[in-house]
Copies of this chain bind each other. A is one copy, B any other.
């Protein structure tokens, strides 16, 4: 049953979106081609006509998720230039932590990428590089000699790691999970504004810990 070129392109996109969402929710190994295709309203044969293999679909779904994430960040701040605080409030919120299917593909799959092929690894690397550049651009460290790129890499790692860990403990220790989100955001915020004043003495926003 041949379909129009537009319909074919639409079907391809449906597959990519369904794959992205399901992979973020259940992991690359945790979701099968049958379910992805069913959610896209197609049979599995369509997947092989479009992508040739599950691996290729995974790589494209990862790329699409990253691209959409960037677009979402850009949209959220059309009126003014977004700040590091904006990113932190958005990325490290409890709402976002609990929305596995809608979130950042890197936080959702970080530890699974090392076991995938080079195609997936490459898309992941491009996504991380893009995040680092975005973070680097909003750092307000005063001295131009400061290595903003290094700081942006560490901040990105802390954000991705923090979100993944907060998700991991959410089921058993919800308030510890909230403490992790708040602590990472707080320390990163400070790191992004690193200046001549001492960090010492700061004690704002400490989340309560009651487990």
A residues adjacent to B (C-beta < 8 A): 25-27, 29-30, 100, 106-115, 117-118, 121-122, 124-125, 128-129, 141-143, 145-147, 149-151, 153-154, 156-162, 164-165, 167-173, 176, 179-180, 183-184, 186-188, 191, 194-196, 198-203, 206
Are A110's CB and B165's CB within 8 A? yes
Tell me what chain A mostly uses at the interface: helix, strand, loop, or mixed.
Answer: helix
CA–CA, A188 and B115, complex, Å: 27
CA–CA, A196 and B113, complex, Å: 40
Query: Which B residues lie within 8 Å of A203 (CB)?
Result: 145-147
**Given A26-B115, A107-B111, A146-B203, 8 extra CB contacts under 8 A:** A111-B168, A113-B168, A122-B173, A143-B201, A147-B203, A161-B161, A161-B162, A194-B200
Query: Which B residues lie within 8 Å of A194 (CB)?
Result: 198-200
